[in-house]
Amino acid sequence: MISPTLSTLILLAFMVEFLTETVRENCPYADRIPAGIVSTMFGILLCYLTGAGILDMLGNSIHYPIIDYLITGLIISRGSGVVHDFISALTGFARSYARRYSRSPADQAPKQFPYGEAPHIQMPPTRNQTCLPLPGWIVPVS
């Protein structure tokens, strides 16, 4: 079972990743700021607003809680990069799985060639023709 401290950090990392991706997709000038800086700002802000500090969660008292929020925000922002990689891997796996195992009617229909039946034999070029590589469905005309 996951400890409450670790589950809180994982939840905050998911929230930071979601906020970072949303801001970078929807704000016109957000792509000029590196994603690490955006996620760090969101991590520290989220820790400050929720009062989630890792040192406080582990039972260590600290004189300045803002230091605890800074440390936790940095940890969460690094964790959001891991969350991003994890989500990207799952998305890529899901897309490849869907591509591999989906059967659409277009995949099951026979292939249509532009000029009727597909040629089974392609004649070699004559002297008047050039020897350019041609696709398999184009037959040289004599």
The structure's pTM equals 0.58
Contact 13, 80 (CB under 8 A): yes
Domain coordinates in residue numbering, the chain: 4-102
CA neighbor of 72 nearest in space, from 3, 24, 2, 10 = 10
Residue 104 has pLDDT above 70, yes or no: no
Percentage of the chain modeled with pLDDT above 90: 10
Contact 48, 66 (CB under 8 A): yes
* Digit-coded pLDDT (tens) for 28-40: 887 788 888 888 9
**Half-sphere exposure (CA, 13 Å, Cβ side) for 93?**
6
